[in-house]
Structure 1
């Protein structure tokens, strides 16, 4: 039982899952102790099967078929099982010995049976277990070399019919169907292992098409079929390694699959995984076919992705750039991708030209990729081209007037020693925009945020008075102006507090309490504490039924 401790459970699960696992100690059933493993069922919103490996090669580990566990995490259900095992640690050695004894007894009994008795036993199990019967039928057909029979069995295993109601497999039955589909994948792998890799390649491809059809009719919310698809792709790769199919034929199939011929989104096959199998001849065919497909559809996502992967794998930066350049996005994102590729290839001058072109080609500077703007300005700054960085920031702010672009313009203008004059121009743009604002616009004027960010409180207050501001801006203004303008701040706090007295909820009470503390501070600064006492007394009288509010006020001395 080395490795099974509370500390290790916490380490594997993390604090959150460990704490949640404490609540599942009474939800375990069917705990079974084996030699080195423990299994159980856990009942929560669903029933899950868990298994702890007590002393495997990597120490303590576990598996659970809950969604979180299927992602490879040590979940709360495993924590519950681990804690249950720890609670009976004194009896665990005895239970493990009993499990070994049972296994030895079973093996001894089976070894003593005659061939006829074993056959009778297997036939009995086959008659009772449909899944076992199907697996054995598939093994028998494989052993006979009967490809048509194996194909028929695999089709049966991938058939949704037994699990579907009205032609659709519901969430509750998806796991069972995926388990059956997984058996088909296992049998394809078994074909490779038995020396029939050519047949395994053929059947793996057929299974991919069948799975692609099936997934459209299965609620695979938990991703069970996704794992089947991953396993099927691996089975195909292993079969190809063993069978060594014709490189040209394999290249054609890989390109066709990558471009969507029968692609199901589940068997995500990377043609580069087949590089050693294809050899130089096959890779040449693969690249040729990919180029032809891309030239026929330069804007096709699959075509572009395949070309990009092959070009990057071959270290052909110019080919990668050609793929990007064939379909330049109007917001400059593609130009930026090209610039990054050229930077990686240590061609900075070309990278800069592509970034500059991205800005120049942008149809709408307000919609340009901000990462491109940042990249270009960073490059200009590194090259000590501060006026150029300032120009880009100014143009971007002119097209997209936000607090962030204002802050970026301010930093660039200061670096270029142009801020005082530029500030007036920028604020004039924001003031004109604030005066054009219409009711219903989301948020307050950017002008207020910019002046607040500049710490120009008086100008911000005047602008808010002239053009209006939203409540969040008024609150920020009041907080910043309170030391010098307590009377003005007090009026804001009182206005914001009034509607909160008509609402309920702990979040409302916390906001109201915060405002009351600010109101008290304003009265203290003004020397009118008696007015605050009168106000607070009236408020408490009117709100006395809100016990959580009263408790919160008491905690803050209000």
Structure 2
């Protein structure tokens, strides 16, 4: 019934938040206050480490979305605070439609009232708001100046709107002030677009360029964790593109401005794309842009600011050989650049050259402990496609000898099975891992890869033989999990040892882990027919840890 009323249910909240955040949201229900219901949204405050503002959008058939200003929520996650507000809405589901209707009625009443006011009454209302709201006054002053073509005032207002100093209380703009600054920058972008619409595109071009320079210099001193300032600056850049499209400035001058701005070391935010200006630049302007970028690239071959626009220009021209030459100037020791070249060539249908570049990357990076795994995957995939299984095995073998990781072992196994030679390759690989294991010390953490490989192969007997004095707790747990049905006595001994080690840590995650181990202990006792022993063991443990109320709650929930 709740779904028909508010458009979502608990399952939707759990799907959006994940099991962990959903469970934590259950614990925040009492912290929700100030629930405010609008036509299509609800807002509230959730009190925790701080007072967090939450807004949920009720999208009807589109479902529900949420925003929260807690650190986790600012990363676009549906956090526990969103869950708590959503659950609060579900608890009040019967009242929500009435509150939404009331919100619609208030909006309708306001609209009708405004429509009924005379011109003088509306002016009085606007003047009253302008006197109380400095931000509104500035926005209206800017629009008025633009309407009167008062370019001096417009310029002064845009300069003021993009000036970070009023927000930089300690020499930089803190996170809490970034949104206010972003609103001003967005208003500057609106003013620039208005100038263009009013037939003053040439003036808008110049003012936008001034704003872009100022914003690029200021951005490095702003905590823009949410990206709101970056979005506003992008709107200014879009206003510049729009103005150029109308004013049609000189292509060479525009090219010089573009390249100079992109390569300006003080520009920390404005990622201008020369292709956005392709129509205005025309063939001559694009050629000039490419020439200037090439000159800058010769002075600093590895500079990202120089390489990015050159890549875009070359890509647009469809010049594969020029792209290969560009990448070849600065080959990354991980092989990532070799891979990019191979992909460019393959997309152009030059598959043999593409594979040759991939093989070159493998040779030139052969001694590197780290190599871009995508390059290895690329070469092996091409070998598989052309029936060169032995070459794929050789590549995977070489990487395994350098990396000695479970992932490298798995990749070697896959390639060797495809080449029908896994038995011999496995023996050699395990011998290598055995040598490593003899040099390593066992302990609770960082067990040898040898045991992981044996477990991954399903060779449990060999894994048990190697585990003593070598395996870490994670490996012991995995070994016990895989052996619970076939060797319950052995598994029980492991679990009991891990339970003892898990008594000391505290916190939800530690308690959930301990509960999982106890469930495994119970399964072993059931398989051995010794349930009474487990009952006594569990009772003793609960008495020992009875002061940990959260742990007791988790054990109760698990039926322990």
TM over 0.5: yes
| C-alpha distance in structure 1 between counterparts of 2:406 and 2:77, whole Å | 43
Distance 1:46 1:189, change over 3 A: farther
| C-alpha distance in structure 1 between counterparts of 2:205 and 2:408, whole Å | 57
In the alignment, what sits opposite 2:267? 263
CA shift at 1:367, angstroms? Answer: 1.3
* Aligned residue among 506, 512, 518 for 1:507: 512
CA shift at 1:43, angstroms? Answer: 4.7
Correspondence 1:312 to 2:311: no
| C-alpha distance in structure 2 between counterparts of 1:367 and 1:418, whole Å | 26
CA shift at 1:89, angstroms? Answer: 6.5
Distance 1:300 1:89, change over 3 A: closer
Question: What is the SS of the residue equivalent to 1:27?
Answer: strand
In the alignment, what sits opposite 1:195? 199
Distance 1:517 1:387, change over 3 A: same
| C-alpha distance in structure 2 between counterparts of 1:375 and 1:178, whole Å | 43
In the alignment, what sits opposite 1:362? 365
Correspondence 1:436 to 2:439: yes
Contact in 2 for aligned 1:478/1:489 (Cα 8 Å): yes
Distance 1:334 1:59, change over 3 A: closer
Contact in 2 for aligned 1:298/1:327 (Cα 8 Å): yes
* Aligned residue among 240, 246, 249 for 2:250: 246
Distance 1:522 1:277, change over 3 A: same
Structure 1: gaps (5+ residues): none
CA offsets 1:161-184 (integer angstroms, 9 cap, x no match): 444434444444333333233322
CA shift at 1:302, angstroms? Answer: 1.3
| C-alpha distance in structure 2 between counterparts of 1:326 and 1:311, whole Å | 15
Contact in 2 for aligned 1:513/1:552 (Cα 8 Å): no
Distance 1:523 1:292, change over 3 A: same
CA shift at 1:410, angstroms? Answer: 2.4
Correspondence 1:298 to 2:301: yes
Question: What is the SS of the residue equivalent to 2:334?
Answer: coil
Distance 1:63 1:486, change over 3 A: closer
Distance 1:381 1:7, change over 3 A: farther
1:208-287 correspondence to structure 2 within 5 Å: 208-260=212-264, 262-265=266-269, 267-287=270-290
Distance 1:6 1:208, change over 3 A: farther
In the alignment, what sits opposite 2:412? 409
Contact in 2 for aligned 1:188/1:203 (Cα 8 Å): yes
Question: What is the SS of the residue equivalent to 2:543?
Answer: coil
CA shift at 1:100, angstroms? Answer: 4.5
CA shift at 1:361, angstroms? Answer: 0.3
| C-alpha distance in structure 2 between counterparts of 1:92 and 1:495, whole Å | 60
Correspondence 1:86 to 2:97: yes
| C-alpha distance in structure 1 between counterparts of 2:483 and 2:122, whole Å | 91
Question: What is the SS of the residue equivalent to 1:298?
Answer: coil
In the alignment, what sits opposite 2:474? 472
| C-alpha distance in structure 2 between counterparts of 1:536 and 1:25, whole Å | 40
Q: Mean Cα displacement is larger for which, 163-172 or 282-291? A: 163-172
| C-alpha distance in structure 2 between counterparts of 1:495 and 1:59, whole Å | 50
Contact in 2 for aligned 1:169/1:217 (Cα 8 Å): yes
Question: What is the SS of the residue equivalent to 1:367?
Answer: coil
| C-alpha distance in structure 2 between counterparts of 1:533 and 1:59, whole Å | 53
Distance 1:184 1:80, change over 3 A: farther
CA offsets 1:125-166 (integer angstroms, 9 cap, x no match): 655554454345445554565544432222222233444434
* Aligned residue among 22, 27, 52 for 2:34: 27
Distance 1:141 1:380, change over 3 A: same
Distance 1:481 1:314, change over 3 A: same
* Aligned residue among 95, 99, 113 for 1:102: 113
| C-alpha distance in structure 2 between counterparts of 1:144 and 1:546, whole Å | 77
Distance 1:541 1:427, change over 3 A: closer
Contact in 2 for aligned 1:540/1:550 (Cα 8 Å): no
Correspondence 1:343 to 2:342: no
| C-alpha distance in structure 2 between counterparts of 1:353 and 1:105, whole Å | 77
The Cα RMSD (Å) is: 4.4
| C-alpha distance in structure 1 between counterparts of 2:54 and 2:512, whole Å | 37
Q: Mean Cα displacement is larger for which, 315-324 or 129-138? A: 129-138
Distance 1:184 1:48, change over 3 A: farther
In the alignment, what sits opposite 1:353? 356
